[in-house]
Amino acid sequence: MYYCKWLSKYSLVMALCWFPLSASVASMCSDYEPIKTFMEKGNYQSALQEMDKCLRALKQPSADDQRFLVDLVKQLRIASPTSLEDAYRNFQSILKIHLFDGLKFEFAPDFKAHPKQKLFAEVRKAGEKYYFYYDTGRVLSHSRGIALTSKSLIWKNLIGEPNRVEFNDIKTITLVYERGLSLTGWKLQVNSGNKDRSDIRLSSVPNEALIPFALAIIYFIDANKTSPDKSKIQFNVPEREKGILAGWVTLCSKEYVDQGAPIKKLPLLDACFSKYYNGDFKLSVADSVLLNKLTTSIFENVNNPFTKGYNNFKIVLSTHFFNGLKFKFKNNLDGQIQANIFPETRRGDEKYFFYFDNGTVTCGSRGVALTDKAILWKNFTGSKISWKNLTGSASRLPFDKISSVTLAHEIDFSSLTGWKLRLNKNEKYEIVLSKLSTENVELFASALVYYINLVRKDAQLTLQIPAETRDILTKSFLERHPKLKSMTDSVSGLF
């Protein structure tokens, strides 16, 4: 997780990226007058062709123009064709845009010029004519792929026999990502949720072309249905797949409604994050900003009664960013556990409210703890290896003796990740955070400062982050968002 205070620093850069560059080059296609004219007349096929010409002329179309192109395809699908011939022309116009360059598509004229009687002969019904074929075989031509006839959808994956489904029997098509035999992991599920569900693997279709490709297939099928109701196919893209298409990022801010207390909204937002969470997904920029907004609002309010504030502290540190770290709070720190945590340093009347165990062999041997009066910690080593650090007692600093808390990053003997908290700007009071990462360390450190402020009401501490530490956090965030990084790099080159 990245805490996003750097966004204000880069706001000018982002503004320059999105405005002058977009206005002068990248976002002109959707404003092109001939396209607008065609759309006003309901001629979406011509609008799509003009849009494609414009995008082909650009080396890097903007995200807005790419979305506009998909919207045009959707409009073409919604508009009712005047005839089957008109529908087929619309279908071909979608699959001939630049997104599909390099893919081996064949249409009706190709079958007339070069008849392919053996193509999926096992399942094709007598009298069916081929109108489309996408050859996904990389060695043997016409050995596998996706075909549309006058009556059915036929396909063959790398493994398995050919499959055929009548157009009238297709109710839903769902775009799904699943690592497997496909090069890309993408597939279309026909009638997802039914016992007769079928999977069509999309082995070579690029990400930006997946939805237009699916919409084109669905458009053709809908136009050729012969059932009395002619109900249109329901096309589904699950939230997880939307996040993958967006660049393996979460998309939770789109669902967020700004109402109610931040502490009540944070668990709901985190539940959304958890839908995406694994080693591949990262928080989107918008989600990072929203998370920062909520947690900042929570941490700023230190005038709450301690019980309420402590509950807020627990909620923040119970989010998925800290999964696997096994934080212990007051309710799961029984007498026996408390007796084993830094017994030589803890004062007799102190009560533990939080413990983060950094020990990998002996439980309670090192880590950081918060009582009702002080912060206690023991590192595996200090800045320098010494017998005291390896075998000595834990350190303790009362909350009323803490004048500053600094987040530092230094690669040395003491930390696997390099992250430390330095109290009172004194190396003697360094707390090693060996199990935290750039994604969660700032949130953790801010939560600790919040807890200290809850206990001591006479002064308000703020987490200090030196410029060199902020640069490391910023670099890590940009590496997780390469498009944003390329934007900031390109604009910084202008100066």
DSSP of 122-144, one letter per residue?
A: TTPPTT--EEEEEE--SSSTTSS
Provide the percentage of residues in the chain whose pLDDT is more than 90: 44
Q: Residue 197 pLDDT more than 70?
A: yes
Annotation: CATH topology of 100-237: PH-domain like (2.30.29)
- What pLDDT does residue 468 have? 94
Domain boundaries for CATH 2.30.29 within the chain:
100-237
Q: Residue 384 pLDDT more than 70?
A: no
Give pLDDT tens digits for 84-119: 898 999 999 999 999 999 898 999 998 887 766 678
Q: Which of 139, 55, 67, 54 is nearest to 104 (CA)?
A: 139
Binned at pLDDT 50, 70 and 90, residue 139 comes out as: low
Do the Cβ atoms of 421 and 430 come closer than 8 Å? yes
pTM above 0.85, yes or no: no
Do the Cβ atoms of 475 and 488 come closer than 8 Å? no
DSSP of 375-394, one letter per residue?
A: EEEE-SS-SS--HHHHHSPP
Q: Which residue has the higher pLDDT, 493 or 358?
A: 358
Q: Which residue has the higher pLDDT, 375 or 42?
A: 375
Residue carrying structure tokens 């918060």: 370
Binned at pLDDT 50, 70 and 90, residue 414 comes out as: low
Quick one: how far is CA 191 from the chain centroid?
27
- What pLDDT does residue 490 have? 39
> 8 Cβ partners below 8 Å, 6+ apart?
none
Q: β-strands 405-409, 463-464: how paired?
A: parallel
Q: Residue 121 pLDDT more than 90?
A: no
Q: Residue 80 pLDDT more than 80?
A: no
Q: Residue 404 pLDDT more than 80?
A: yes
- What pLDDT does residue 23 have? 37
Residue carrying structure tokens 């041997």: 365
Q: Residue 260 pLDDT more than 90?
A: no
- What pLDDT does residue 259 have? 66
- What pLDDT does residue 449 have? 96
